[in-house]
Structure 1
Amino acid sequence: MVILMSSISPQILKKRKRHVLIALISIPSILLLFNLWGWSFYLQAKGFLDEELGKRLISIAAITSLQVSPELIKSIEERTIDDEQAFNFREYLATVNEENNLESVFIIDKEKNYILDAGYVHLEGEKYHCLNISDANRILDASLGKSSCSKLYRNGSQMFKTGFAPLKDASGEVIAILGVDASPEFLRALSNIQNTLIFFGIISLVLGVLYVLVLLAVINGFEAMFHAEKFASLGRLSAGMAHDIRNPLQIINTTYESLRKRYLPQDIEDEMFDYIPDEIKNLNKKINDFLSQTKDTPLKIKLNNLKVLLNHIIDRMSPDMERATIRFNNHIEPKINEFYFDAQQMEGVFQNLIRNAIEAMPDGGVITIKAYPYKGGKQFVAIEIADTGHGINKRDQKKLFEPFFTTKEHGYGLGMSIVFRIIQKHGGEIKVKSRPNQGTTFTILLPWKQEG
């Protein structure tokens, strides 16, 4: 007897799937850890910069405020300051601004109106707009006599931070507030780090998703290759077995003919002799049936009408359903009509599933067939074949599409493996959903190709 084994054993397939699953988990985990480390570094750097920059701005604001006399503030507000004094004061603030790499130095009153802006951006009397609640709180602190600094915050594409110091009169009462803005150029490096992390986070997410999709495709490819090779091996095994069985059958038939000629005239019938060729024919028929089931016939993809095919099968199997007191429901959406598939092989698929549904309901029940566009983001047609029979337990569901697996007392156990193979060759999928005593639903997904 000829025995041919698949080069991919279930153990090898399981091992490969395990390796792929390890990679599936490990690579995204590494990407996630890398991104978490990057954000952790960024947050630590941001916290350190916020604290150190805050100290620096408070120090600059406090030192600068010591050079601003109450009389100078009063003369500016009352507009009694002479031009030379005003020019020298602005030059001093501009020097502070330049030497400390600041964005601006300004003075506001306690009502948040500009008294002076060294950068000539804001006019006297213009309202100071707090960009952040932290700004408002720190101005309140300064109006109460305490130097303080806003938190580092983002507004639009830039980051900002401002230090405030009170300006007091001789009695110690706060009469104005001096503010210093950190330069956006100084903060741009931190902003660039954040933008870079966001960019790499998005890239990592996209790569991670693509990586998962590729590995899932690899796993599905392993399974498809395993089933295809197993089915091909089954075909070779069947052909070898048929050859090994037919040879002795031919010898038996030849011996029968010789014995009949020698011991029995041609015009005389003998039940004992005639029994031999009948059984040889019966055995040859079983061999041919078995070979036809294990033969991997190439697809003949043509434009076919699914609705017409299903209705034809249903009409042909209606007598069987009536005898079993089975009702039938048919819900095929009008838009599901013609597309490309092998009608002959798919007819075998539908017949097999409907036949199984009938056998699962010996006391009657309902078979429902639905066909509709699949809403899973792919151009697929979904065909559901559901029954209200005894159902399939989870353990049997795992082995349902394996060759020679059957729970019936008759048959070879090849029907569902052939169904799986035909759908797989179409580039489709088959799913089963079942619970004991609650019926079974098979969902077939076929590519919805409406053009050749």
Structure 2
Amino acid sequence: LYRYVLTISQSHYDEQGNFLGLSGVGTDIHEKKLSEIKLIESEEKFKTLANSVLTAIFIIQDDILQWINPETAHILEYSEEEIIGKPFYYFVHPDDVEAARLRADARQRGEDIINRYEARIITKNNIVKWIDFNVATILYNGRIAILGSASDISIRKKIELELKTSEEKFYKAFYSSPIPMTINTFRDGVYREVNEAACQTFGYVPEESIGRSIFELNIFADKEELQNYIHTLRTNEKVKDFHVTFKTKNGLLKDCIINSDVFVSSGETFVISSIIDITQLKRSAQIIYEQYKELQKINNDLIKTKEELTLRNIQLFEEKERFNRVLESINDAVIVTDRSAVILLVNNATCNLLNKEYDELIGKDIISILDLDCKQPVNFTFNTIIEILQQKSISNECILHVGNVSYNIELYVLPLKDQMNSITGTIVVLRDITQKKIIEEHIARTSKLESVGLLAAGIAHDFNNILTSIVGNLSLIKTRMNASSELYQHINDAEKASFKAKELTQQLLTFAKGGAPVKKVTSLSAMLKDIVTFVLRGSGIESKFIIDDNLYNVEVDEGQISQVIQNIVINAREAMNDHGLLKVYALNVNEDDPIKAIIGNDKYIRISIEDNGPGIQNENIEKIFDPYYTTKPHGTGLGLTVVYSIIKQHGGYIFVDSQPGKGTCFDIYLKATEKKVETIDENGNEISFIGKGRVLVLEDDENIQFILRTMLEELGYEVDISCDGDEAYKKYLVAKESDQHYSFAIMDLTIPGKKGGKDTITQIRKFDNEFKVIVSSGYSNDPVMSNYKDYGFNGILPKPYRFEELKQIIAAISN
């Protein structure tokens, strides 16, 4: 055992200085010493703890910072030596200093004051931070002091500000929106917010609706619709394009579309809804609405594209500092000028192209250096460049003359900008495309037809899908109208115009490659007169028609044969220079016609188009059907190639007879048919029957799904729709195995990214040749459409189609 003792002693000596001994007293200080040790250990523990936490801890006495932990220095971005001994308000934001000092003085006086508050500080790097302070009064070295902790809440403050700004924007958009919008509680449907548009639509002022529920206002006219709406909302937490009938304050009924989403705010669940009044447009607005949504998607895509272009421009600016490093690696000639078109920098490719040394170019005006003949004149004055480059960069094709040598070049002029986005000069790029031009001309001539074909097929398919929805809706409307009404005639005219557009898509396909013909029985008499009259309209050419009264019918693709006649008549018009006489014959081939030696006893008709123009030179006759052969300055050389291709695909013959100075005659022979021309009753009453059973539909376009379902249900069928061939095939198998067979199926030929009708019918035909399947497509040039039986289909339904055409093909396969 031990004890702490405080001793005081004194030495004693004799007169000679000899040590005699010690005398002293001792005091027991054991308890006091242990207390001092514990206090020191406690202080060390406090400092160890304070130094290890990520919260700033500090002691202030007489406004002076006496002690801090490392996190305090980290938040203030000062060293400990720079902080200790300074007044605490030295680090406080000027706007918060007065309040901070008043609180500190009051606390040191012992007054009751809040311990927790938020304030701003300024760091050594002049950064403003929001801090959450928590302080208390303590004794430090025997005197009153302030012990505080602090946490950086700058990020939280920023989030709170952004949230507040976001809410302000939301409510500004909500109240200013021209679309009626409401916010209700999710639990009981009480209105919390309504905008002006909603008040105008339903006739209530805000005070009459806010605080009351949808049940109290009784705005849902149909209770079943209300229950379905609530069920859908609670199941999916959203409602999309829900058709509902609302009742206004005055009792008026309005057909509307409501879209609702569930969201949580301040711990409470709400429903925000937007409402579209479609009372006047309910029957026709579906098509317009879907097209509007498609335009919205296109607009978003354009905005996205614009944002991507903006980002690329920013990236281009960031690459400016590295420009000199990569300049010499560029094979194109690059010239950098100032705002006065004086050359500042060139690369080696420029020197090689212009055959000049580097020093011969630097400091020279670019106009004096470049000898250019361009498709579009180029002026290198700064004002002209600024006007153009503010909107877009300059590009041009030019001939560059260097001495006695000429080069085909692509010229690009790009803006050179400073950090303020002001144009300070230009970057001129000269790309030698002499060899490229030679190669491109060769490639263009060999690939042009294929490119046009792909483009035309895509346009025709998409256009035909749109037309299917339009024509289908129009034909359905006609079935519900009195044929003698004036509106019926307008609908009828719109339907006919839509089918004119269908003919346009077929002409696109025909121009491209002819396409596989989709044949039907046709009489060419009226077609010939219409096409010739149309092409010659506005010219001084007289037309004369010689047509057999009992002209045989033919089985042809009307759109393709129209293109044949049109191409030949256009050539005749251009050859006759808009004056002269054009004779058009349409005759049944008799026994005296020389063609009989080729066709034998089969019946044919002959179409002859005879002009009195300058004729074709003998040496050119053999070339007129060759691709790209033309004698016109701006001709493509494709017109007669397409004509020849179409006639061959129809199993026909074409001959040309021409004498220079007298004119040209084209003779076309097409095989006749004894089949009757099918006609469609415009009133839609030609076929009347009631369908029975279920129909399997494979179609991915929502508009066509809607109109086809409506048509089939109108006929009495139940409709089962699939968007994917695999799904359709599974449904077919399930129905077959459960002995609940489908009556027939209608399948879209192709489904982008998925299995279409062509592959699905192949699966079915492996074990079932009796199931009736109709193929439908906007790709009217697909071989399947012209030879559908070879692929296992029982009928075709080319898009677009009328209601009556659908009934006809169903009746045909049913019989």
For the criterion TM > 0.5, the same-fold answer is no
Which has a greater percent of strand? 2
Which has a greater percent of helix? 1
Q: TM-score, normalised by structure 1?
A: 0.37
> Which has the higher Rg, Structure 1 or Structure 2?
2
